[in-house]
Amino acid sequence: MPQKVGRNSEEPTKYILDRTLLRPRDAIKFLNCSIVEAAGRTELGSQAIRDAEVIYCKSQRQALCDEWRIEYPSLNSCLDILENKPAEFRIMDIPTSDVDKFLNSQISLLGDPKYVNCKLHRYSFETLEGKSNERVLLLRLISVFFMIGVVGIKPSPTEPIAFSYDRRPYCTSIIPNEESHIAIHKMLWRSLSINTR
């Protein structure tokens, strides 16, 4: 293993674990992707780990969608609202035009029986019908994203970013608002083209 990986010269174990939901299977999957990328090379270097990250992030996005398929069958298309965003930002920084673009992408799903019981789809439909608005829809999406580990939320200015799988007592009571700072989980950065600069 290399001594450092990535732009911030992180220790490889930390780099890999930061891109998991702290489940052993995630770390094993990332390591397996890295070994495949290192095939034909004399060592598992930093570049192999970075190359493997692209494959791993795409596979984690799909795995997350598969894991939550019963409750949120439209999750994959909903994640698109996070594409090309900074790694951390305030919810209010997502322009309403991005939410409108997202809603337009959801129109094609209307009437599809596969999505009838999907909360995310229902939230979108309520907004399209005028029963809700774009900002409420966005907060609902972020709440679901937080619950399943896609984003972390900074509960207060003095607290660090918290993810739902953290073992902090207040994690289950976090409710996002427009002022909330969120961080997109690193396991999805490469699949969502997240701006890390």
Q: How far is CA 170 from CA 155, 160, 166, 189, in A?
A: 9, 12, 9, 26
Place of tokens 């732009």: 7
How large is the average pLDDT for residues 55-68? 95
pLDDT at 28 over 90: yes
Give the confidence band of 168 by pLDDT, cuts at 50, 70, 90. low
Residue 54 is predicted with a pLDDT of: 93
Give the confidence band of 1 by pLDDT, cuts at 50, 70, 90. low
> In percent, how much of the chain has pLDDT > 70?
95
pTM: 0.89
Sign of the C-alpha dihedral, residues 106, 86, 61, 169? negative
Domain boundaries, the chain: 12-67, 75-188
Contact status, residue 56 vs residue 19, Cβ threshold 8 Å: yes
pLDDT at 44 over 70: yes
| Mean pLDDT for the chain overall | 88
How confident is the model over 128-160, as pLDDT tens digits? 889 999 999 999 999 999 999 999 998 778 888
